[in-house]
Chain A
Amino acid sequence: MSSTAAVPILRQGDILIVTLQGDLGDAEWAKLTDDLLDRVAERRTRFAVLDLSVVDVLDSFACRTIVGLTNMVALRGPTMIVAGIQPGVAFAMVQLGATLPGVATALDLDHALALMTHG
């Protein structure tokens, strides 16, 4: 069943790190969107990293949500980076035709951090 715990969002200075614990259902994506936008607003935030390394499926809805989230976050300033998409998931997404246009991606959290410090 869907987990009732919210997706953890951690702040490190002007960076927010969102670590998904697994597959998200529609309602959870909606809650995540609200939570993230709240956190972005509370303090100066330059980056938001969405860590998907434990997510084993991303369907077209999830992909649209991520793109939407990226754009909504960008409206308030921060750049979103999607990190840790797994090989099988990337393959499925491309087959599906859902490819996160306009969203910055990184291999994992480490690489995302490197991207943020070195541009």
Chain B
Amino acid sequence: MSTTQSAAAASALAAIPENHLRLFWKAYEESYDDVSARATEELFALPEFAGIANIVTEEESAIRREATRLMLSQAVDTGSWEAYAEDLVAQGELYGEMGLSFVSWFKAVSVVRVIILPHLVRVHGESTDDLVGAVLGMDAFFDVALATIGNAYLVKKESTIKVQQDAIRELSTPVLPLRDGMLILPVVGVVDSHRAHQLTQALLEAIRHSRATVAVVDITGVPSVDSKVANHFIQTVEAAKLMGTVVILTGLSPAIAKALVTLGVDLTKLNTVGDLQGGVEEAERILGYRVSQIEA
């Protein structure tokens, strides 16, 4: 949990003019349960929440709502927002970890403002000044709340992506012996020069170790294949060829292949097949196996 994020949020909330907040909260508190339930409904309607909606019971939702209401009530009374701010940050981080679509979440919770407005009018309709104050309070409050959740979401999401990328990169290259004489090397994630060298070495060692004569290298999981990366794979193929092993490259889409050719990459040096399955079949053909279809 980021303390700087929640501290900033707490300050921003404390800076909202007190009377605006009180006017807003007066109307909001009365209808809190109703508004909150509606908001949760909208949120759980999102596909990403599908699993959770079933796990969280109505009871648990009610308990949570009450807890938040008390937190808010206390904050408005005392002017100290630390606890609520931390809750906002935690929410944002949760959505970030879940990989939620920010746009759909924002749309879902924006519905809250629309729901509260009639309640504000109902409670403060008699006094224009009060109504204006309440609306200003609502705007200021939701601005900070949504911005805090949004920011925590972004920070969490970015760090989650980075962690995932690092994990993918650090996965020791899995070279899988499939049959006698055949190896499969699935490549996932970003391939830079350093990793390309690692992959090549791992493949060559595996070829020697398992005495393979065909290797299928699948690059479906490589997000971008520019001419540099393509040249790395060409080098891998040539090195394996020096060891007497044929390399079949799969997962290179026709679109990318075309782009590479345009860039001057000599793809004739590569033996490419569309997908991994096709590559394995081609490998078996080369190894001299007969592949027979087993009718189900």
Q: Do chains A and B touch in the complex (CB under 8 A)?
A: yes
Residue positions of A touching B, CB distance < 8 A: 82-83, 85-91, 93-95, 99-100, 105-108, 111-112, 115
Given contacts A91-B201, A111-B211, A111-B213, contact A99 B238 (CB under 8 A): yes
Q: Are B242 and A107 in contact (CB under 8 A)?
A: no
How many residues of chain B get a CB closer than 8 Å to chain A's CBs?
Answer: 19
Q: Which chain B residues lie closer than 8 Å to A111 at the CB level? A: 211, 213, 244
- Complex CA gap A53/B208 in Å reads 11
Q: Are A100 and B242 in contact (CB under 8 A)?
A: yes
User: Which of B200, B201, B240, B244 is close to A106, meaning CB atoms less than 8 Å apart?
Assistant: B244
Q: Chain B: which residue is nearest A105 at the CB level?
A: B244
Q: Are B244 and A94 in contact (CB under 8 A)?
A: no
Q: Are B211 and A108 in contact (CB under 8 A)?
A: yes
Q: Are B200 and A107 in contact (CB under 8 A)?
A: no
Most-contacted residue by chain A among B207, B235, B244 (CB, 10 A): B244
B contacts with A: majority SS: helix
Given contacts A91-B201, A107-B207, contact A85 B243 (CB under 8 A): yes
Q: Are A107 and B208 in contact (CB under 8 A)?
A: yes
Q: Are A87 and B211 in contact (CB under 8 A)?
A: no
Given contacts A94-B238, A107-B213, contact A87 B244 (CB under 8 A): no
Q: Is B241 an interface residue (CB 8 A)?
A: yes
Most-contacted residue by chain A among B205, B207, B238 (CB, 10 A): B238
- Complex CA gap A111/B244 in Å reads 9
B188-204: which residues lie under 8 A (CB-CB) from chain A?
Answer: 197, 200-201, 204
Q: Are B239 and A90 in contact (CB under 8 A)?
A: yes
- Complex CA gap A108/B242 in Å reads 11
Residue positions of B touching A, CB distance < 8 A: 197, 200-201, 204-205, 207-208, 211-213, 235, 238-245
Q: Are B243 and A90 in contact (CB under 8 A)?
A: yes
- Complex CA gap A85/B208 in Å reads 10
A108 to chain B, nearest CB (A): 7
Q: Are A91 and B244 in contact (CB under 8 A)?
A: no
User: Which of B200, B208, B211, B243 is close to A105, meaning CB atoms less than 8 Å apart?
Assistant: B243
Q: Are A85 and B207 in contact (CB under 8 A)?
A: no
Q: Are B204 and A91 in contact (CB under 8 A)?
A: yes
B285 to chain A, nearest CB (A): 15
Q: Which chain B residues lie closer than 8 Å to A86 at the CB level? A: 208
- Complex CA gap A111/B208 in Å reads 12
Name 17 extra pairs, CB < 8 A, besides A90-B243, A105-B243: A83-B244, A85-B243, A87-B204, A87-B205, A87-B239, A87-B243, A89-B242, A90-B204, A91-B200, A91-B204, A94-B242, A99-B238, A99-B242, A105-B244, A107-B243, A108-B211, A111-B244
Q: Which chain A residues lie closer than 8 Å to B200 at the CB level? A: 91
Supply 8 A–B pairs (Cβ within 8 Å), ascending by A. A87-B207, A87-B239, A90-B242, A91-B197, A91-B201, A99-B238, A105-B243, A112-B244
